[in-house]
């Protein structure tokens, strides 16, 4: 008998992807799926906590599978948690719709606010092309090629002694001769240096044979924790040529930045996270090129905005100290790097500009959002809120700005919610009662049968249940009010949003008291963050002249309902504006204008970060906000009035 035992090999077949792989006995099912390119939702990063990685075994057997986290019915049906399953045989594995990460992202995050946008910027892209028709070299004039190029730039465009990338010198002789000494030179001034009065001189990043001035494109990309949104920009015409959105594939390694940072500390973890976000970027680039017919070689620049962890991971910078006190990022201003060096499939000449950040948890996406809505140009006292897994808040105006971040948890993006999902096709995004029948009307993104509920759906549902008295202010169902849709489930009382036959998942879609608790905690963190930051600079929340909301909420962030649950302050509704994805808008504007690039560098320097994580006031404000809308009803007078009149109405019925 041999000393070495052969490890048994099995075949795992993933459906409906129809992907088959051969694996070793004992391999982890989630890891195998990810390695095979089958992306499963895994919000807790594979730690067995979130139950988002459910798969169904059509045949075969696994060890573990998270039985203790599943209902007996689910377990009997072959449902297993992929992250807790070790492969013991050949398998056929079905990925159910609610666990899938598909490309059907339809959230219309690009809608613009009613007229809220930065003004006073010139169309003056930081990247430019110059056409030169140079005299050919002769025996009488045999100056070197670089000298000839510089001479041409000086003669034709008054550009003197500009630096040039070494790669360009290497290709210069061939470019000059290919089209009879006619070339196009590309320059850029894009830089993430802190703002100073010194003008940044352009540098030459490319030289192409012939006249290519009519082909000048750039990419604006928002790298979010959950999604990657991108626009292809025509810099000659100042317009968006194509736009798209896909999942950030890092979602399979954890739903929030803390889980991702933890994953990055595992062997090979940082490399993996960098690789998968680059994959997501390559996917959006392919899609943009397909939509527009633009040639890959004509993209000259990428501008990326993301939170500090996303920017670190994209650049391959170790985010370890972001989550360790005293919470220091690697760098707030990072020099531009070559896209090709990161694995982005674009020409050698393309640089990636990442927005400057403020602190460990307030990043380039916030700087980008602030400049896009013109907060840096207004005298109005402004509250800017980016609602997401990590909530960021900025207060101030053109003269000063203070910022803070708070961890809201993933509830606004559907994480930690029994049937939660991000704002994509099939997500319940709106909910309303028919006052006569008390039957709910639900609206899903793209109007298809529901497969889960997203953040806006949750807010709308909880607000409506509260107003109609089915939910008490402590977030518990009011079982004294009869509703055939309230029942006791495995996690306590729950409300049936859609019955099994009406859904894509073949099971009832419900909202549970645990879900509502998670939402209350998320909204309490956001509200407490706003309250604490405002008070730290002696401003009352009612003093804000405008409140700008950003975030990926699909189409239906309903301000009134967000106030009803106590997420937003109870101030006159006309002061609110929702700008959708401010981060993407800012990234676009920086491609269009040097003025906006300078604004980004300036705003990043002027913001003062206030740390809330160890702030007692924040903790007190947070606890006080763990109620619908708040333990202090005086802060929400219009909501309290509405709730008391709906109580009176139901009494009089």
Q: Which residues bind ligand FES (CB under 6 A)?
A: 42-44, 46-53, 81, 83
Rank residues 52 and 212 by Cβ distance to ligand FES and give the closer one.
52
The least CB distance from residue 50 to ligand FES, in Å, is: 4
Nearest to 292 by CA among 187, 188, 349, 218: 218
Q: Tell me the C-alpha distance between 640 and 642, whole Å.
A: 5
Rank residues 51 and 148 by Cβ distance to ligand FES and give the closer one.
51
Q: What is the DSSP letter of 589?
A: H
The least CB distance from residue 46 to ligand FES, in Å, is: 5
The least CB distance from residue 249 to ligand FES, in Å, is: 14
Rank residues 42 and 176 by Cβ distance to ligand FES and give the closer one.
42
In sign, the C-alpha dihedral spanning 580, 582, 584, 588 is: positive
The least CB distance from residue 245 to ligand FES, in Å, is: 23
Q: Tell me the C-alpha distance between 157 and 515, whole Å.
A: 63
Rank residues 40 and 524 by Cβ distance to ligand FES and give the closer one.
40
SS (H, E, C) 39-101: CECCCCCCCCCCCCCEEEEEECCEEECCHHHCCHHHHHCCEEEHHHEEECCCEEEECCHHHEC
Q: Tell me the C-alpha distance between 230 and 282, whole Å.
A: 11
* Whether residue 629 has a cis bond before it, omega within 30° of 0: yes
Distance (Å) of CA 254 to CA 31, 49, 52, 184, 537: 13, 11, 10, 45, 35
The least CB distance from residue 575 to ligand FES, in Å, is: 40
How many residues are recorded in the chain?
653
Rank residues 79 and 565 by Cβ distance to ligand FES and give the closer one.
79
In sign, the C-alpha dihedral spanning 286, 288, 291, 294 is: negative
In sign, the C-alpha dihedral spanning 228, 234, 237, 238 is: positive
Rank residues 364 and 410 by Cβ distance to ligand FES and give the closer one.
410
The least CB distance from residue 319 to ligand FES, in Å, is: 20
The least CB distance from residue 98 to ligand FES, in Å, is: 13
The least CB distance from residue 324 to ligand FES, in Å, is: 24
The least CB distance from residue 306 to ligand FES, in Å, is: 23
What's the angle, vertex CA 69, arms to CA 66 and CA 70, rounded to 5? 90
SS (H, E, C) 275-314: HHHHHHHHHHHHHHHHHHCCCHHHEEEEEEEECHHHHHHH
The least CB distance from residue 102 to ligand FES, in Å, is: 17
Strands 182-188 and 203-209: antiparallel
Closest residue to ligand FES: CB criterion: 83
The least CB distance from residue 70 to ligand FES, in Å, is: 10
Q: Tell me the C-alpha distance between 304 and 314, whole Å.
A: 10
Q: Is 166 helix (H, G, I), strand (E, B) or coil?
A: helix
The least CB distance from residue 254 to ligand FES, in Å, is: 8
Strands 492-498 and 509-512: antiparallel
The least CB distance from residue 255 to ligand FES, in Å, is: 8
**275: phi then psi, degrees, rounded to nearest 5:** -65, -45
Per the CB < 8 A criterion, the answer to whether 404 and 533 are in contact is yes
> How far is C-alpha 404 from the geometric centre of its chain's CA atoms?
18
Rank residues 42 and 172 by Cβ distance to ligand FES and give the closer one.
42
Q: Tell me the C-alpha distance between 427 and 616, whole Å.
A: 37
Q: Tell me the C-alpha distance between 130 and 347, whole Å.
A: 19
Residue 603 CB-half CA count within 13 A: 33
Rank residues 125 and 409 by Cβ distance to ligand FES and give the closer one.
409
Q: Tell me the C-alpha distance between 520 and 20, whole Å.
A: 42
Cα distance from N-terminal residue to C-terminal residue, the chain? 84
Q: Is 520 helix (H, G, I), strand (E, B) or coil?
A: helix
Q: Tell me the C-alpha distance between 296 and 83, whole Å.
A: 38
Per the CB < 8 A criterion, the answer to whether 532 and 366 are in contact is no
The least CB distance from residue 157 to ligand FES, in Å, is: 56
Rank residues 263 and 622 by Cβ distance to ligand FES and give the closer one.
263
546 sits in the region (left: phi over 0; alpha: psi -120 to 50; else beta) called beta
The least CB distance from residue 387 to ligand FES, in Å, is: 23
Rank residues 80 and 451 by Cβ distance to ligand FES and give the closer one.
80
Rank residues 49 and 294 by Cβ distance to ligand FES and give the closer one.
49
The least CB distance from residue 100 to ligand FES, in Å, is: 14
Rank residues 265 and 650 by Cβ distance to ligand FES and give the closer one.
265
Strand order in the sheet with 486-489: 486-489, 492-498, 509-512
Rank residues 52 and 354 by Cβ distance to ligand FES and give the closer one.
52
Rank residues 41 and 483 by Cβ distance to ligand FES and give the closer one.
41
The least CB distance from residue 60 to ligand FES, in Å, is: 19
Q: Tell me the C-alpha distance between 78 and 579, whole Å.
A: 44
């Amino acid at each position: 008998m041999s000393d070495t035992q052969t490890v048994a090999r099995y075949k795992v077949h993933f459906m409906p992807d129809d992907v088959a792989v051969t694996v070793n006995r004992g391999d982890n099912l989630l890891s195998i799926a990810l390695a095979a390119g089958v992306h499963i939702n895994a919000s807790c990063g594979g730690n067995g906590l979130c139950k988002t990685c459910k798969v169904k075994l059509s045949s075969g057997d696994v060890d573990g599978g998270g039985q203790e986290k599943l209902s007996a019915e689910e377990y009997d049906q072959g449902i297993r948690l992929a992250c807790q399953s070790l492969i013991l045989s050949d398998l056929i594995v079905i990925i159910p719709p609610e666990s899938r990460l598909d490309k059907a992202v339809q959230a219309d995050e690009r809608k613009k606010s009613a007229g809220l946008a930065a003004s006073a910027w010139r169309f003056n892209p930081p990247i430019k092309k110059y056409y030169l028709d140079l005299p050919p070299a002769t025996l009488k004039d045999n100056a070197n090629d670089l000298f000839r190029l510089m001479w041409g730039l000086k003669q034709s465009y008054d550009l003197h002694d500009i630096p040039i990338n070494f790669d360009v010198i290497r290709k210069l002789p061939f470019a000059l001769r290919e089209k009879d000494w006619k070339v196009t030179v590309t320059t850029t001034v894009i830089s993430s240096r802190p703002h100073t009065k010194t003008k940044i001189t352009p540098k030459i990043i490319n030289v192409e044979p012939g006249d290519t001035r009519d082909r000048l494109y750039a990419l604006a990309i928002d790298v979010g924790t959950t999604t990657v949104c991108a626009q292809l920009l025509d810099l000659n015409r100042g317009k968006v040529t194509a736009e798209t959105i896909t999942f950030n594939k890092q979602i399979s390694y954890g739903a929030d930045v803390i889980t991702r940072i933890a994953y990055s500390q595992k062997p090979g973890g940082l490399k993996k996270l960098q690789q998968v976000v680059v994959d997501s970027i390559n996917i959006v680039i392919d899609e943009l090129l397909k939509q527009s017919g633009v040639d890959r070689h004509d993209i000259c620049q990428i501008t990326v905005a993301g939170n500090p962890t996303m920017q670190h991971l994209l650049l391959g910078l170790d985010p370890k100290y972001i989550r360790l006190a005293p919470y220091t990022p690697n760098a707030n201003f990072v020099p531009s790097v070559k896209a090709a060096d990161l694995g982005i499939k674009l020409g050698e000449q393309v640089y990636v500009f990442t927005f400057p950040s403020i602190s460990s948890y307030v990043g380039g996406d916030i700087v980008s959002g602030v400049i896009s809505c013109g907060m840096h140009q207004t005298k109005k006292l402004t509250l800017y809120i980016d609602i997401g897994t990590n909530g960021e808040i900025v207060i101030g105006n053109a003269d000063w700005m203070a910022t803070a971040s708070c961890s809201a948890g993933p509830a606004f993006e559907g994480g930690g919610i029994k049937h939660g999902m991000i704002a994509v096709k099939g997500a319940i995004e709106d909910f309303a009662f028919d006052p006569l029948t008390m039957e709910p009307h639900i609206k899903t993104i793209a109007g298809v049968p529901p497969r889960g509920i997203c953040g806006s759906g949750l807010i709308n549902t909880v607000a409506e249940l509260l107003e109609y008295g089915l939910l008490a202010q402590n977030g518990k169902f009011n079982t004294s009010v009869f509703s055939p849709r309230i029942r006791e489930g495995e996690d306590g009382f729950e409300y049936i949003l859609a019955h099994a036959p009406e859904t894509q998942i073949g099971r009832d879609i419900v909202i549970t008291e645990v879900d509502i608790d998670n939402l209350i905690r998320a909204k309490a963190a956001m509200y407490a963050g706003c309250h604490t930051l405002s008070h730290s600079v002696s401003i009352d929340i009612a003093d804000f002249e405008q409140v700008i909301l950003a975030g990926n909420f699909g189409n239906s962030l309903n301000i009134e309902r967000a106030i009803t649950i106590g997420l937003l302050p109870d101030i006159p509704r006309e002061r609110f504006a929702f700008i959708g994805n401010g981060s993407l808008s800012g990234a676009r504007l920086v491609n269009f204008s040097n003025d906006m690039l300078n604004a980004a560098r300036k705003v990043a320097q002027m913001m003062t970060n206030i740390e809330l994580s160890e702030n007692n006031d924040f903790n007190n404000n947070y606890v006080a906000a763990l109620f619908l809308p708040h333990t202090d009803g005086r802060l929400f007078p219009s909501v309290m009035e509405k709730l008391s009149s709906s109580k009176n109405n139901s009494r009089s019925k």
